[in-house]
Chains A and B, each alone.
Chain A
Amino acid sequence: MELTFPDILFRRLESIANLSAADRRTVACLPLDVRDFPREQDILREGDVPSTSFMVLDGFVYMYKLTGQGSRQIPALYIPGDMPDLHSTQLKVMDAGFRSLTPCKLGFVQHKDIHKVCETSYAITSGFWRMTLIDAAIFREWLTNVGQRAAYSRLAHLICEIFIRMRSVGLTDGMSCPWPFTQEQLADSIGVSKVHINRTLQELRGHGLLQLDGNELRILDWGRLCQEGDFDPLYLHLRDEAIVPRCEEGIVPK
């Protein structure tokens, strides 16, 4: 399913904040420069000073940091509706890079236009602010994930998170959702080697928790996946708790 602006941004903002009809009209009038990116292309590099922020309209994006030795860490993954560099409206120099993970459609908004809509509505300011605060909450959770959980649990946790975030913007189909991540991207996201990711994915499959079919993930046992991943969606701060499936959902009869 492909969504367009402003629907996708409404879905994201309204999953975490309350917008009035007037706020929706204001957001819908944001001038947007829509650009297509092929997969694995730099959107922003560390050190860049952008005058725009972008929102993901279609596709997936990741943030990356490189160590002095050239090892890569992916500290965050972004899905449609997210505004990965919204913080650049306040922090002028990029301290991390952003790349397209899949072919992407991105909408670039001038910082001055974001500042302008924020001046007109406290609810919009609050929604944007909340988006960046939730990004920070996700970083805290990822840090805990990478620092304290075993690979099996880390990967289960990441799968639960992506699924719930996709579901909160209406991009899942039952217990299925797009899963475009390569083993290398997953390895750099949770800090283990490619071979270990490969092994861990096959363990999760072997234990009947999920199925991977090309670029699609299907969760077969949501309750157990959450349990193995030690996953509690509290840190995503979603308004609608019903977004989270019930434990018995997604269990495929044997």
Chain B
Amino acid sequence: MLKNLLRYDFHSGMENSCYRFFVFLISMSFCVLSFFLNAHQFSEATGVSTAPTFADCIVYLFIGPTSPIFDTVRVSLPRAWMLFYLIVSYLTGDYVDRDLHGAGRIILLVSSSREQWWLSKSLWCIGSVLLMFGTVYLIVGIGCVFCGVFSFSISEQLICSLLGWEIHLPLPLFLLHFMILPFLTATALSTVQMVLSLVVKPIFSFLTVATYYIFSLFFISPFFVANYAIPTHCSTFIQGGVNPFQGVPILVFVIVFSWISGRFILIKKDMLG
């Protein structure tokens, strides 16, 4: 039964999010393009012929705020970072609510198992986030084929010039900061948003999660779990930052806790009312 539910969710969810996925694709393509343009400008200005790498572009997209966030004037918010995470939230925003008011209700009745229905929705959510990360890596990979090199080594000079940070990380730490933690954070907050949309209107759950993401840029604390998706807020990069190794179990806990809360809410929910 779960297999059929999953098939339905992936088909219906993709159909539902088709336009939004296009928005995501366009936005991320522009972000990647802006990176390669900046890298090209850097090469021209300095005369250093550094070919931007896959890792450079991933760092550029996922690094988060590169300057101290508290200042006397308005902070420059990390554009590519915000664009990515807010569109991920936007994409997974209303599927459960929409489905509950449409064909999903019938599917729920036919499946006769609320737990499996909810599990299927949760797996769809994880799958969607995975697809979006995959899409970004694909866009970056295509960009590297034409304008750079496909390598996991970070061009320190280029990154220092573009972002003002000297980053030299071994591969496992690079993967943890720029690939694993961002994925887990996006999944955790999308799951939380999905649970919230069972209680309030999807637009309010989206607003709540967007607010939470933006507040995380200002407050370095494990209570703002989006900090784990901001490498510059981690203890590897700054003193007093959040511990990235604690991030993995915390984010997994958030995902599991959200799933259990959602299941509890769904079991109590009056579907036909």
| Chain A partners chain B | no
